[in-house]
Amino acid sequence: MQFVDVCIEYPSGISIIDRGSYDAELGMVYVSARVRAFLAVMHESESPAVITASWDGNEAKLIQSTVDSFAVVSVEPPAGSPRSRLGARLVRASWSKDQRQQFGRFCHTLTVSSIVGVVGYVHAISEFSIWAAMNVAALVVIGVVTYVVGMDSMNGE
C-alpha cells in the first residue's frame, strides 16, 4: 500500500483533490469515508466525474468498482525529459540561461586547459612510451568531452 493523490473532476468545474491508498496487487485505490459521502451526494446531481490518481510521477485513470474503492484502468508512467543526454540532467534541469552559459564557458576553459596540458606534456616528454601516449590520449579525451558538454549546456547560444 502506498499513498496517492486522488483527483476528482466534474464537467461543471468542481475539482476535489484528496489522498487515498493504492494497493498495487489488487489494482485498487481506496478513498476516505468523507470523499465517498461526497461522491454519493454529487452522483445524484452531476454527470460522471473523471477520476485520476497520481504517485511518483505515474498517473492512473480510475473507475468506481465498489462503494469504497476505485479500480485502476490504466497507468501512464512519467514522461521522459526532452533535454539532451549529455551532462548531468538532474543538476542542470532548473538552471537559468545565464547559469547554463556560465557552465558552458567553464567547460570551454577546461577544454583549453587540457589542450595546453597536451602541448606542455608532449614538449616535456624525454622518452616516448605507452604511458606517455595514454596520458596524452586522456587529456585529449577530456578536452573533447568538456568541449561537447560546454556546447550542449549553451544550447548553441
pLDDT, tens digit, 9 for 90 and up, residues 101-146: 888 899 999 999 999 999 999 999 888 899 999 999 999 999 999 9
Question: Residue 21's domain spans which residues?
Answer: 2-76
Q: Give the number of other Cβ atoms within 10 Å of residue 117's Cβ.
A: 17
Q: What is the CATH number of the domain that holds 71?
A: 2.40.10.10
Q: What average pLDDT score do residues 65-71 get?
A: 68
Specify the residue for cell string 549553451.
Answer: 154
SS3 state of residue 51: strand
Label residue 82 by pLDDT band (50, 70, 90): low
Tell me: do 108 and 64 sit in the same domain. no
Task: Please check the confidence at residue 28 and state whether its pLDDT lies above 70.
Answer: yes
Tell me: do 63 and 102 sit in the same domain. no
| Higher local confidence (pLDDT), 45 or 137 | 137
Label residue 23 by pLDDT band (50, 70, 90): confident
Nine cell digits for residue 29: 485505490
Q: Directed axis angle between helix 97-124 and helix 130-154, to 10°? A: 160
Characterize the bridge pairing of strands 28-30 and 50-55: unpaired
Tell me: do 6 and 56 sit in the same domain. yes
Tell me: do 6 and 72 sit in the same domain. yes
User: Are 31 and 17 a contacting pair, CB within 8 Å?
Assistant: no
Tell me: do 72 and 6 sit in the same domain. yes
H or E stretch at 5: strand 2-9
Query: Residue 115: how many CA atoms within 13 Å on its side-chain side?
Result: 10
User: Are 21 and 1 a contacting pair, CB within 8 Å?
Assistant: yes
